[in-house]
Structure 1
């Protein structure tokens, strides 16, 4: 659909949610059809936007400003990608919104196209309000896999991009589902891929080779030791569950037969750290043990290698009591307290850029990533009330 075809087209939040859910934006696929739709929809209302494509050119983030273009305002940030549905027992087509018994079902309905739909559906009202403080809409990609789809857009804030100067915002609201509670803290997460190359030999003569599986077992044991040691570093705030850093091995593969020294193995693992923890401590410890294991392997197989690559780095979100984002979200939601959550979001990237940031959105994370994912119509309505209060604040300046 072209911009001219969408000129002046209005959608209710539920209608906009249906449009967004209909785009299959599972993270291993392109989100460009959705971005094209949003870009055209905004252009139909005279709102310009800036794209931030990924290196491959098959995905993009989108930034748009409603209201004054010469100052920073409030960012409403949401990701456009969703998790897979393969292997899940859905009752209906996950990419066709279905409304029943006060719930709207569909992949991404709560995580987090519901929040995005609210911001987009209210664009005509934002425009009519003659805002004194702008509202910025920021749609990202790859949140479910790397959280890196937001980085280029954040880096451009306060700078000129494509002939357009993106304002540096005053506050950021990341609309992950919190039931409109205000989250000011979450753990960071780093994921790693460790690849081990040994040298194949008959199992009766291990001195002629080096087993990548044996080496991997030593490294897996070290990760387990790290996990146990981390339990002693309790979170003093008492806000996190569990109240310490965690280390987890997701997959461990290697070997082709019982009687062959494995020449290859691979470990996929992660570390989740409290905002107060040093994110470098775990990887540094693991690297030191890897060096010792490699030395042992090379005693019988000089060509052995161990390589660890960090595949994602999501910074944690640390509390900033009294920040502009926190005060604003409290006024809009009617809450007088903050929460911490176990999952990671893009909020840490905004905070690292020096932007006051909180996580606050409609719906419950308990419904995210599940078959028959849904957002309640009551929460969608509460989210609309939140947005309209934001509009009134920005209208007043």
Structure 2
């Protein structure tokens, strides 16, 4: 199968999904071949698009408008990157779509190239519908690692791009309408001590001991958060969570470690202060490094925030919520534990919900899949959107 596009080529949603899955867009790799394919495909239908490249120039987001170019419409937003397949027990090539027993298997099939495939496959129908309200397509990058691939495009909305009326982020929710998710901040801390023989601890400072104190404080913070749940938060669990994912340090039992590193995260409810936990950690780090410097003046503790994904807060009655309810036939909203790019849109003042076909339970798994019935439900959702936008 070739990944190239032909002018005016009509593809079914399943055919489009096969094209998108064929691009290995694991987050540590470039997504530019996929972006070029989509550009060519849209150009073949006379739809111009605009790239928003990253600083390195090896990735890009893409924005396109179908319908009137002089007004804001409805954004369908989805990320092009996928999580790795290394170490997973796939029974088939993860980058070749395989259809069997009512399922379409492939990396990204549900998270979230299925949503993008539906939107792109329906471009010819969107064009033929003579839309009065435009449909904007926004393809991002790096959602699986930082959620920063949307920020440049969002910054252009209302300036060099039209300001949208509403945003639908198509993460898999089984077409339920998510109006709330936690925010997540991730950090990497490096502790620099001074090596010495363990029988003479006054000659150095152990980076492992210092790091253990910091990790223990994060554990205390996690337990305190667990003890004060917000029963009205609709989240599982209904409290902020704090987690140390990696901790490395030391080279031998009888040597004071001169270096330790740990990666950690804080996931906060939308109503929580995302600054509080990191500030408490930083205050303790100052105390710990001061103690280290009694015997090792060169000791240091450095923490860098590696990602900052804002939460999505409920916005009852927003245009995005009312639209998604009409399109999906739902009359309620849900909250999810995972983070998305939706918070960035909301921070920019854009009404935003998360709503897409398929189940998050299949995401990030070996033999990831979306069912053909879920794709069909997603197509019906898109066609109802087209009818709404035709009417204006």
Normalised-by-shorter TM-score class? over 0.9
Match of residue 163 from structure 1? none
Match of residue 162 from structure 2? 167
Confirm or deny that 1:359 pairs with 2:374: no
Distance in 1, Cα, partners of 2:269 & 2:233 = 11
1:274 is aligned, of 266, 269, 276, to 269
- CA deviation vs aligned residue, 1:76-106 (integer Å, no higher than 9, x gap): 0000000000010001000000000000000
2:382 is aligned, of 366, 381, 387, to 387
- Kept in 2, the 8 Å contact 1:2–1:40? The answer is no
- Kept in 2, the 8 Å contact 1:110–1:375? The answer is yes
Match of residue 306 from structure 2? 311
Match of residue 215 from structure 2? 220
- CA deviation vs aligned residue, 1:248-298 (integer Å, no higher than 9, x gap): 000000001111100000010000000000000000000000000000000
Distance in 2, Cα, partners of 1:131 & 1:220 = 55
Confirm or deny that 1:345 pairs with 2:340: yes
> 5 Å matches for 1:181-260?
181-260=176-255
- Kept in 1, the 8 Å contact 2:3–2:19? The answer is no
Q: Tell me how many residue pairs correspond in the alignment.
A: 391
Unpaired segments of 5 or more residues in structure 1? 161-165
Distance in 1, Cα, partners of 2:229 & 2:20 = 41
- Kept in 1, the 8 Å contact 2:115–2:356? The answer is yes
- CA deviation vs aligned residue, 1:13-55 (integer Å, no higher than 9, x gap): 0000000000000000000000000001001111001100001
SS state of the match for residue 142, structure 1? coil
Match of residue 100 from structure 1? 100
Distance in 1, Cα, partners of 2:316 & 2:233 = 16
Match of residue 331 from structure 2? 336
- Kept in 2, the 8 Å contact 1:271–1:282? The answer is yes
Match of residue 41 from structure 2? 41
Q: 1:304 offset after TM fit, Å?
A: 0.4
SS state of the match for residue 184, structure 1? strand
SS state of the match for residue 313, structure 1? strand
Match of residue 139 from structure 1? 139
TM-score for both structures, normalised by structure 2: 0.99
Distance in 2, Cα, partners of 1:248 & 1:218 = 14
Distance in 2, Cα, partners of 1:155 & 1:232 = 39
Unpaired segments of 5 or more residues in structure 2? none
Match of residue 148 from structure 2? 148
Q: 1:319 offset after TM fit, Å?
A: 0.2
2:319 is aligned, of 306, 317, 324, to 324
Match of residue 287 from structure 1? 282
Confirm or deny that 1:84 pairs with 2:47: no
Match of residue 123 from structure 1? 123
SS state of the match for residue 147, structure 2? coil
- Kept in 2, the 8 Å contact 1:71–1:167? The answer is yes
> 5 Å matches for 1:7-26?
7-26=7-26
Match of residue 70 from structure 1? 70
- Kept in 2, the 8 Å contact 1:147–1:345? The answer is yes
- Kept in 2, the 8 Å contact 1:202–1:259? The answer is yes
SS state of the match for residue 84, structure 2? coil
Distance in 2, Cα, partners of 1:30 & 1:210 = 42
TM-score for both structures, normalised by structure 1: 0.97
Residue 297 to residue 358, structure 1, CA distance change in 2 (3 Å): same
Distance in 1, Cα, partners of 2:336 & 2:185 = 17
- CA deviation vs aligned residue, 1:84-138 (integer Å, no higher than 9, x gap): 0001000100000000000000000000000000000000000000000000000
